[in-house]
Amino acid sequence: MIAFLLAQTIAIIGGTVYPVSGPKIENATVLIRDGRITAVGTNVAVPAGATRIDASGKWVTPGLIDGAGQMGLREIGAVQGTNEYTLRGNDVAAGFNVLEGINPASTLIAVNRMEGVTTTLAVPGSLGVPPSGGLIWGQAALIDLDGATIETMQIKSPAAMVANLSESAKDAGGGSRAGVAQRLRRALSDAREYATRRADYRRRQIQDLSASAADLEALQPVLRGELPLIVAANRRSDIETALRIAREYKLRLILAGAAEGWMVPGGIAAAGVPVLVEPLDNIPSYDALGIRYENAALLAKGGAKVALMETTTENTRDLRQQAGNAVANGMTWDQALRAVTLTPAEIFGVAGQYGSLEAGKVANVVVWSGDPFEFSTGVEHVFIRGRDIPLRSRQTELLERYRTLPPKY
Amino acid sequence: MRFVMIVVGLAVTAGCASAGGRRPTSTAPAAAAAPAGQDTTGVGPQYPSTYKRHPNPAVLIRNATIMTAAGQEIQGGSILFRDGKIVAVGTTVEAPSDATVVDGTGKWVTPGVIDTHSHIGVYAAPGTFAESDGNEATNPVTSEVWAEHSFWPQDPQIPLAIAGGVTTIQALPGSANLIGGRSAILKLVPARSVQEMKFPGAHYGLKMACGENPKRVYGGRGGAPSTRMGNMAGYRAAFIAAQDYRRRWDKWNKDHQGDPPDRNLRNETLAEVLRGNIYVQNHCYRADEMMQMLDLAHEFGFKIRSFHHAVEAYKIADVLAREGTAVSIWSDWWGFKEEAMDGIYENAALVQQAGGRVVIHSDDASGIQRLNQEAAKAMYHGRRAGIPITRDQAVRWFTANPAWVLGLESVVGTLEPGKMADVVLWSGDPLSVYAQAVRVYNDGWLVYDRNDPTHQPKTDFTLGQP
């Protein structure tokens, strides 16, 4: 249930519109009514009384969707008290949903949305390279970056279960990758058994299971294939383990990181597994000696569905730069734009409402002065659920205070 | 911003290591004080550079857009370099018969990228404890340690940085300590030892660190410093000891009466700072703390060559310009700790506008590969805020200005005749997200060619790996 707070009609007129779901349209109008897009095209009648936004010479795209970050869950990385993304002391924290940890007042939100990112997946754990420790981190929530409460921000919760099969998971598997895989299988098998023997479980007439009832319960939608399982895996063999386990349990797998995914794009594509990639990662570690800039492009070329992520939460705004660099390293520009709009919407199961500029979709729209991936391009307007977001943040206030010295206190 | 320059003269000046008076703010010769390699400690040269230029044919890149970082952006320009020196830059440069001619049509040329703040080699990949050699976090003052003694020339991050157009780095100790040790100024070339990479004529830097890191590291162990006032007391005690040491050695160097004073490596490095021969490179985020550090520098009579990170430099841009202290900053990093909360996109532009010297640095093995992009981001955000930054200024942020911070401004950092032939050919406008370095020349040596696998050096570490 998506909350719309605004009853207003807005017409973005005359821009070059990139609907993503179809080819670009020159000199087009995007009509927004009460938070939803009602029309896109060159023959759109603008109702009297509509707020008119002149976008001539501008580029109009869907709001960017970040494939994985911790917006609202992480304020200051070094200050524990401001961080909410990890449930400590439970390696199979499937029941942990991050949603109520999200702080709608986070200063990061305004800083990042004014650069064109309108939607992010708020994940437990950390999907960067390297990922944080633990095996099953919990449930991620998809949120729009506007709203005073989590109810008004949320799009879908849970949007995915998040787990880890990278090197950093080894402590949860007794120090071996094989142990990690077995531990994950055991959690899934236990969850399956639990589902058929809940009464026995309550009467304690069942062998000990490897996780709490709440965590086993939370894994049910994953086992039913309703809730996707995001798995952080970077080494090729870990990616293949993830694919194997997903096959065995018929899971809806999403790979995250997948630094060595470029080595097996065909296998990933054939399995129908989408991938969340951070294009600017290329520093080798023993978790991914084959990490390289061309990963996103080679995965896309191999037929895999690729969405991009910027895992440095405070600079989620650099998702644009990630996309531009993906293009520099071989993705097509159209692929890259899709990888930060419609593709993540599809991966998270909200493409009916998000990710493209089409009638009926939620009005997350950005008006850019030019190519959204270029540094020379500025953001002119950001609409989230039809609200024209003020392009202000704590950072713009600091700029104004210190623009001339001495400062204006 | 289009200038056309017709012809330019011949190379003459000796590149590296030339002399120079004590003029840290002048644009003339590299050395602010004594030339590097010259002994001022009284104990003789230590661990000298064994760098040798790689022999190469002359190269002419023609019909490119040449951003000289010295005021020009030359359309249809050519650049000729020979024997490691730039010979000519302009629109009508003749190709000598023995020169390799490179077609630069549709491409851009800049000076080699210089990073004033890197930890590659001292925090090498693959990033295990075995490669963790950047912080001698056993004492808050370790001016006796030298980053070059940690530096691993087989760090696989080095070729990645080269592919980003980087030709020179300052490899620094980390920021756990108040005084972390000497930096290493290095040519980024394949080598078997760090000595073969040491930039001839460069002045050592001294890594100092303000703020949260030292007090967290030592306070966390129940020691000192545990507060910012403890930080200040720590620097002062160290420099008081160094003043005494310097006095005794200067006296002995002058009169050679009796036995030389006892040597102390910790004080020896700090005494060189006091003599102006080692440049202070000061990790410091907050404006108020930078002001404290300027007071400290005044107390002991040294200059801070550059503040590093300096996310609040814009709050004291006027002071920094007046003091002649550069800032080595990111375009947009902020928020990862409390002292980084007030970072803004316009930091670089505001410091530039106030007359300060801006360097875009990396402090990051990933970011070092795209300093041109980071400079572009800072330039365009500045412009959108109404601060008129030129393209030449933005290129200087990752070329000429870092050269100055390392005391190498007469040697590298611009494309002018006589300068060392550190040259990058870009696939497009280097201030675009889509541009990539296609050829990187270091001292005239083609150390990277994106289109030729035989010119893509791999470190030993990478051989046989996936």
- The mean predicted confidence, pLDDT, of chain A is 96
The model's pLDDT over A100-133, given as tens digits with 9 standing for 90+, comes to 999 999 999 999 999 999 999 999 998 887 888 8
Query: What CATH number has the domain bearing residue A115?
Result: 3.20.20.140
Q: What is the pLDDT confidence band of residue A317, given thresholds at 50, 70 and 90?
A: very high
| Its pTM surpasses 0.90 | yes
**Most A CBs within 10 Å, among B132, B155, B344, to test the A interface:** B344
- In this structure, the number of other CB atoms found within 10 A of the CB of residue B298 comes to 11
**Most A CBs within 10 Å, among B154, B315, B336, to test the A interface:** B336
B-chain residues near A378 (CB < 8 A): 380, 384
Residue whose structure tokens are 């969850």: A191
- If asked whether residues A327 and A186 sit together in one domain, one would say yes
- If asked whether residues A311 and A397 sit together in one domain, one would say no
Cβ <8 Å between B125 and A283: yes
Q: What is the pLDDT confidence band of residue A164, given thresholds at 50, 70 and 90?
A: very high
Cβ <8 Å between B338 and A284: no
**Most B CBs within 10 Å, among A75, A283, A316, to test the B interface:** A283
- Concatenating the DSSP letter of every residue in B442-465 gives ETTEEEEETT-GGGS---GGGTT-
> d(Cα B304, Cα B353) in Å, to the nearest integer?
20
Asked if pLDDT for residue A280 goes beyond 50, the answer is yes
Q: Strand A51-54 to strand A9-17: parallel, antiparallel, or no bridges (unpaired)?
A: parallel
A-chain residues near B156 (CB < 8 A): 284
- If asked whether residues A110 and A236 sit together in one domain, one would say yes
- d(CA A384, nearest CA chain B) in Å: 23
- d(CA A82, nearest CA chain B) in Å: 11
Cβ <8 Å between A282 and B366: yes
The model's pLDDT over A386-395, given as tens digits with 9 standing for 90+, comes to 999 999 999 9
CA-to-CA separations, B389 to B71, B114, B403, in angstroms, rounded: 13, 20, 20
The side-by-side arrangement of strands in the sheet containing B358-360 is: B179-182, B205-209, B279-284, B304-309, B326-329, B358-360
Cβ <8 Å between A314 and B334: yes
Contact B23, B36 (CB under 8 A): no
Find the CB nearest B156 among A284, A324, A374: A284
- If asked whether residues A279 and A388 sit together in one domain, one would say no
Find the CB nearest A402 among B126, B350, B433: B350
Find the CB nearest B317 among A75, A325, A405: A405
The model's pLDDT over B194-225, given as tens digits with 9 standing for 90+, comes to 999 999 989 999 999 999 999 999 999 999 99
Least confident of B17-21, B317-321, B353-357, B394-398: B17-21
Q: Beta-strand (E) ranges in B324-436?
A: 326-329, 358-360, 423-426
A-chain residues near B385 (CB < 8 A): 399, 403
- d(CA B302, nearest CA chain A) in Å: 26
Find the CB nearest B335 among A76, A283, A284: A76
- If asked whether residues A332 and A398 sit together in one domain, one would say no
- d(CA A49, nearest CA chain B) in Å: 31
Average pLDDT over residues B131-160: 98
- d(CA B23, nearest CA chain A) in Å: 28
Average pLDDT over residues B30-51: 72
Average pLDDT over residues A5-23: 94
- If asked whether residues A278 and A226 sit together in one domain, one would say yes
Residue in chain B lying closest to A328 (CA): B434
Kindly report the length of chain A.
Answer: 409
> d(Cα B91, Cα A14) in Å, to the nearest integer?
42
- d(CA A375, nearest CA chain B) in Å: 5
Question: Percentage of chain B surpassing pLDDT 90?
Answer: 89
B-chain residues near A375 (CB < 8 A): 373, 376-377, 379-380, 431-433
Q: Which of A323, A351, A379 is a domain's end point?
A: A351
B318 by Cβ neighbours in 10 Å (0-12 / 13-18 / 19+) ranks as middle
Cβ <8 Å between A321 and B318: no
Cβ <8 Å between B466 and A315: no
- d(CA B183, nearest CA chain A) in Å: 23
Chains A & B: contacts with CB separation below 8 Å: 112
- If asked whether residues A173 and A53 sit together in one domain, one would say no
The model's pLDDT over A356-374, given as tens digits with 9 standing for 90+, comes to 999 999 999 999 999 999 9
Output the pLDDT for position B43. Answer: 82
Output the pLDDT for position A372. Answer: 98
Cβ <8 Å between A283 and B350: no
Residue in chain B lying closest to A322 (CA): B433
CA-to-CA separations, B163 to B166, B198, B440, in angstroms, rounded: 7, 20, 7
Q: Strand A59-62 to strand A365-368: parallel, antiparallel, or no bridges (unpaired)?
A: antiparallel
- If asked whether residues A326 and A395 sit together in one domain, one would say no
Cβ <8 Å between B433 and A325: yes
Quick one: DSSP state of residue B383?
A: H
Average pLDDT over residues B242-246: 98
Residue of B33, B10, B201 whose CA lies nearest to B87: B10
- In this structure, the number of other CB atoms found within 10 A of the CB of residue A52 comes to 13
The model's pLDDT over B301-338, given as tens digits with 9 standing for 90+, comes to 999 999 999 999 999 999 999 999 999 999 999 999 99
- d(CA B155, nearest CA chain A) in Å: 10
**Most B CBs within 10 Å, among A327, A371, A396, A399, to test the B interface:** A399
- Quote the tokens at residue B364: 């990051």
> d(Cα A238, Cα A285) in Å, to the nearest integer?
14
Output the pLDDT for position B27. Answer: 35
- Quote the tokens at residue B230: 């403890």
- The mean predicted confidence, pLDDT, of chain B is 92
> d(Cα B302, Cα B294) in Å, to the nearest integer?
9
Residue in chain A lying closest to B343 (CA): A395
- If asked whether residues A45 and A189 sit together in one domain, one would say no
The model's pLDDT over A197-248, given as tens digits with 9 standing for 90+, comes to 999 999 999 999 999 999 999 999 999 999 999 999 999 999 999 999 999 9
Output the pLDDT for position B174. Answer: 97
Structural domain span for residue A30: 1-63+355-409
Find the CB nearest A285 among B126, B314, B341: B126
Cβ <8 Å between A398 and B128: no
Could you tell me which residues are beta bridge partners of residue A97?
Answer: A139
CA-to-CA separations, B135 to B69, B140, B175, B193, in angstroms, rounded: 34, 10, 7, 20
- d(CA A301, nearest CA chain B) in Å: 19
B-chain residues near A328 (CB < 8 A): 433-436
A-chain residues near B380 (CB < 8 A): 375-378
Q: Which of A303, A333, A351 is a domain's end point?
A: A351
Contact B407, B367 (CB under 8 A): no
Output the pLDDT for position B23. Answer: 33
The half-sphere exposure of B437 on its side-chain side, counting CA atoms within 13 A, is 32
Residue of A35, A24, A11 whose CA lies nearest to A360: A35
Residue whose structure tokens are 């349990």: A249
Find the CB nearest A284 among B125, B318, B434: B125
Cβ <8 Å between A283 and B157: yes
- If asked whether residues A198 and A314 sit together in one domain, one would say yes
Average pLDDT over residues A25-54: 97
Any idea what the Cα angle at residue B388 is, between residues B387 and B390, rounded to 5°? Answer: 135
**Most B CBs within 10 Å, among A74, A393, A395, A400, to test the B interface:** A395
- If asked whether residues A166 and A240 sit together in one domain, one would say yes
> d(Cα B291, Cα B310) in Å, to the nearest integer?
11
Residue of B309, B314, B379, B374 whose CA lies nearest to B344: B314
Contact residues of A toward B, CB < 8 A? 75-79, 107-108, 111, 236, 260, 263, 280-286, 289-290, 314-315, 317-318, 321, 324-325, 327-328, 373-378, 395, 398-399, 402-403, 405, 407
Q: What is the pLDDT confidence band of residue B108, given thresholds at 50, 70 and 90?
A: very high
Q: What SS3 class is residue B380?
A: helix
Cβ <8 Å between B365 and A79: no
Asked if pLDDT for residue B69 goes beyond 80, the answer is yes
- In this structure, the number of other CB atoms found within 10 A of the CB of residue B310 comes to 34
Q: Which of A307, A324, A351 is a domain's end point?
A: A351
Cβ <8 Å between B431 and A376: yes
Any idea what the Cα angle at residue A185 is, between residues A184 and A188, rounded to 5°? Answer: 90
Residue of A123, A262, A134, A111 whose CA lies nearest to A187: A134
Cβ <8 Å between B380 and A375: yes
Q: What is the pLDDT confidence band of residue B255, given thresholds at 50, 70 and 90?
A: very high
Cβ <8 Å between A395 and B315: no
Query: What CATH number has the domain bearing residue A365?
Result: 2.30.40.10
Cβ <8 Å between B341 and A76: yes
Asked if pLDDT for residue B12 goes beyond 70, the answer is no
Q: What is the pLDDT confidence band of residue A95, given thresholds at 50, 70 and 90?
A: very high
> d(Cα B45, Cα B38) in Å, to the nearest integer?
7
Find the CB nearest A375 among B337, B376, B436: B376
> Could you tell me the domains of chain B?
113-412 (3.20.20.140)
Question: Percentage of chain A surpassing pLDDT 90?
Answer: 95
A273 by Cβ neighbours in 10 Å (0-12 / 13-18 / 19+) ranks as buried
Output the pLDDT for position A2. Answer: 83
- Quote the tokens at residue A86: 């990890």
- d(CA A85, nearest CA chain B) in Å: 15
- If asked whether residues A15 and A59 sit together in one domain, one would say yes
Output the pLDDT for position B415. Answer: 98
| Cis peptide preceding B153, ω within 30 of 0 | no
Number of domains in chain A: 2
> d(Cα A137, Cα A124) in Å, to the nearest integer?
6
A45 by Cβ neighbours in 10 Å (0-12 / 13-18 / 19+) ranks as exposed
> d(Cα B181, Cα B209) in Å, to the nearest integer?
10
- Quote the tokens at residue B213: 């890191």
Asked if pLDDT for residue B466 goes beyond 90, the answer is no
Q: What is the pLDDT confidence band of residue B7, given thresholds at 50, 70 and 90?
A: very low
Residue of B428, B422, B433, B449 whose CA lies nearest to B68: B422
Three-state secondary structure string covering chain A? CCCCCCCCEEEEEEEEECCCCCCCEEEEEEEEECCEEEEEECCCCCCCCCEEEECCCCEEEECEEEEEECCCCECCCCCHHHECCCCCCCCECCCCECHHHCCCCCHHHHHHHCCCEEEEEECCCCCCCCCCCCCEEEEEEEEECCCCCHHHHEEEEEEEEEEECCHHHHHHHCCCHHHHHHHHHHHHHHHHHHHHCHHHHHCCCCCCCCCCHHHHHHCHHHHCCCCCEEEEECCHHHHHHHHHHHHHHCCCEEEEECCCHHHCHHHHHHCCCCEEECCCCCCCECCECCCCCCHHHHHHHCCCCEEECCCCHHHHHHHHHHHHHHHHCCCCHHHHHHHCCHHHHHHCCCCCCCCCCCCCCECCEEEECCCCCCCCCCEEEEEECCEECCCCCHHHHHHHHHCCCCCCC
Could you tell me which residues are beta bridge partners of residue B114?
Answer: B168
- d(CA B372, nearest CA chain A) in Å: 11
Average pLDDT over residues A23-48: 97
A171 contacts: CB under 8 Å, gap ≥ 6: A91, A133
**Most B CBs within 10 Å, among A103, A313, A375, A395, to test the B interface:** A375
- d(CA B235, nearest CA chain A) in Å: 25
Q: What is the pLDDT confidence band of residue B38, given thresholds at 50, 70 and 90?
A: low
The model's pLDDT over B72-83, given as tens digits with 9 standing for 90+, comes to 999 999 999 999
Question: Percentage of chain B surpassing pLDDT 70?
Answer: 92
